[in-house]
Structure 1
Amino acid sequence: MKKLISLALAALLLLNLAACGESSVSNPSGSSDDSSSSADPAQPDAFSPITTEAEVRALYGDDADLIASIEAYQGDFLVQLGTDDSCPSLDWVYGESGIRRRMLWLDTPLLRCEIESQASVRVVTGGPNIYNGVPGFPRVELATLSLLYDEQGCDRGYDPYVSPGTASSEIYWAGAGERYSMGMQGRREAIRSAQVDAGGLTVAFAPLADGSDFVAAYCEIPYTEVALSEDGMTLTVTMHDTFLSSGTLSKDVDPDFLKEYGSLYPESFPAGELAGSCTLIENADLRQDGNSAVLTVTLADSPIHGRNFGDGYYRFTAETGYTGIADIGPYLRVTLNATNELFAGD
C-alpha cells in the first residue's frame, strides 16, 4: 500500500513539474502577454518577407522620408538614405526576412554605387566633407555583409579576430574628361615648392607674407581643381587664391612665424617649367593667372603607345597631406598612371 502511495505521489510531482516547465516556455517573461511579442526578430517565425518598394518604405516608418533611392537585387533591396544636409548611408534589406542591416555610412557624398553580389557593394564617394565642408578627391569603398549574416540576414557568429574584414578602401583613378576639387575655398596661400617626381608631381603651400588665412583652427590646401583633358593628354591643376609671390610683409606678422610655416619670404617661387623628371610627363609649366596659380602638365605620348602592350591611356589620382607637425606644410600630390584595358584593374 505504501508503495502505491509513493508511486502516486511521484506521478503527481512529475505532472506538476511538467506543467511548470510548459508555463515557463510559453511565457518566458513571466507576463500575461502572448509569447510572440518577445520572439527574436532574427528567428524564422518572426520573418516578414518584403517584396515591393512600398513595403521597404513601410519598414522604415517615420524615417521613410530619408530614403533617397531603393534598388532591387535578386529579391533583396539596397536602400540609400540621406538628405541634402547629411551624407548618405546604405542599408541592405533582405527580402526573405524583412531584416535590414546597415552597410556603410559615408562622410562625403555618394557619386556611384554598384552591387557586386548579395549584400556586397562597391561605391565611389567624394566631395564636401560632412565635418568641415572641405571637398576631397574621390575614393572607392567596398563593403560586404556576407561574412556577418546569412542569405536571410541572420547572424553568422562573425569573429572579427579570426575572420576577414568586412570593408576596405581602394584608390580611385580618374580618367579623361574628369575634374575634381579639393581644398578650402577662400584661403589665400603662396606656393613654397613645386616639382615633378617619379610618379607625378607635388605642390606645397605656405602663408603669404601678410599671414592672411593661414592661422586657423583647420589648415588646408587652397581650393584646387584637378582635371584631365578630354583627349587624356593634358593635366591641369588650378590653385585658386594662390600666388607665386610671397607678397609684402605686414607689420604685425613675425618673420619667424613665416619661416616656421615654410614661407619663401622675401623670395618668390619662380614661374616656368618645373624641375624634376617623370617618364610620363613631357613638360610641366607653372604660371600666375590672376589670383590663381595654374600648373599645365603635358603628358608624354610614348608610354601609352609602346610595342609591348599596345595602346593605352592615362589616369590620375590625388591626395593631400602635411609635411610638418599637426597641419604645418599642407601639400597636394597628383599621381599619374599609364595603363590599358587589360591592366586597368591592377
Structure 2
Amino acid sequence: MSGRVTLATVATSAGVSVATVSKVLNGRSDVSESTRARVQEVLRQHEYVGRRPEPVERATVELFFQGVVNSYSIEVIQGVLEAGAAADVDVVLSSRPPRSRAAADRAAAGGRATQWIRELTATGRRAAIGITSDLAAADLAALSRARLPLVVVDPINIAQPEITSVGSTNFAGGMAATQHLLSLGHSRIAYLGGPPTSGCNQARMNGYRGAMEAAGLAVPKEYVWLREFLYDDGLAGGAALLDLPEPPTAIFAGSDEVALGVMEAARARGLRVPEDLSVVGFDDTQVARLASPQLTTIRQPMREMGTVALRTALQLAAGEKVDSHHVELATRLIVRDSTAAPARHPSLT
C-alpha cells in the first residue's frame, strides 16, 4: 500500500475506532483479546511504524572524588552505582585533584572555583555526591545558588551544618579496635591515621585515646602519627614507630591500606605479625582478606554508605526533607589473624 499509514487507516481496516488502535499500541488492558488480535494483524499487514516516542529524560547524579582511588573509595563507588541502577538513575564519575586551602582561595578570587559547578548545572545534573572531599567555601556557595544538592561521604573537613554527609560510627570503631588490643594484654598501642583535619580520622583517633584513657594508659606523643590513609603512609609511619627506642607492641591503623603498609614495615625489620606486632585496620576492604595474615579490622558498611548517599541526594533533589543532615552507619570489629597477645620480644617488651 502506498502513502503513509495512519492510525485512521488502521482503524478503518480493522473496523474499530482510532482510540482502540491507540490503546492496542500503548498496551492498554481495556481491549478484548479478539479485538487486540485483529488490530495487531492489521498493523502487521500495513507494516505500521508509529512515531518514535520522545526520549525520557533520566535523572543524572555527579559522583566525584579527590585524590587517589583506593580500596575504600572503590567500595563506596560500587554502592552508589548499585543504588543508581536500582533507582533508574545515571551516575557520572569524575575526579577533582586535591587542592591546598591557599590554592582554593586563589581559585575563588579568580572565579575558577565555581566553574565545575556551572558545568554540572549546564549538563542537567540533579545532585552531586563527593567521596572524602574538601570543598572550598566558594564551591559550597555556588552549589547553594545553583540549588544543586550535595552529599559528601566521609568529608575531609570536619562536618559542617550546611553539608549533608554520610559516614560511620568512627569514634565507636576506634574505641573497639583499641579495646580489642587492650583485651589481648597490649599497653603500648600506637595510632597511625589520616589527615589531621579529616572528620573520620579525628573520630577514630579520639576513640583510640578514649579507650587508652579509660584503661589508665598515657599516650606518648610519638605514638600518634598522622599523614594520609594510603599504603605508603603506613609503610613510612610503621617504620617511624617501629624504630622508636621503645616501639609499640600493637598499632591501630586508620585504614586497611595503612595497616598493610605497617605489616610490610614490620616484615622489613624481621618482625612477625602477630607474634611480634599486632595490627588492626579500619574499613574491611577486600585487601583485609587478601593480606597475609588476614587483617583484624573495623568493618564499616562502605557500599551501604554509597547507597544512603545516593538516596539522600535524590531526596534533596526532589525537595524532600531528610531525617538528618549527618547519617552514621554502625561499625563492628572483625577479628582475624593479625592480632595476638604481646610477645616477649627483646626489642618490644
Higher helix share: 2
Higher strand share: 1
TM-score (norm 1): 0.22
Which structure carries more relative contact order (alpha carbon 8 Å, separation 6+)? Answer: 2
TM-score (norm 2): 0.22
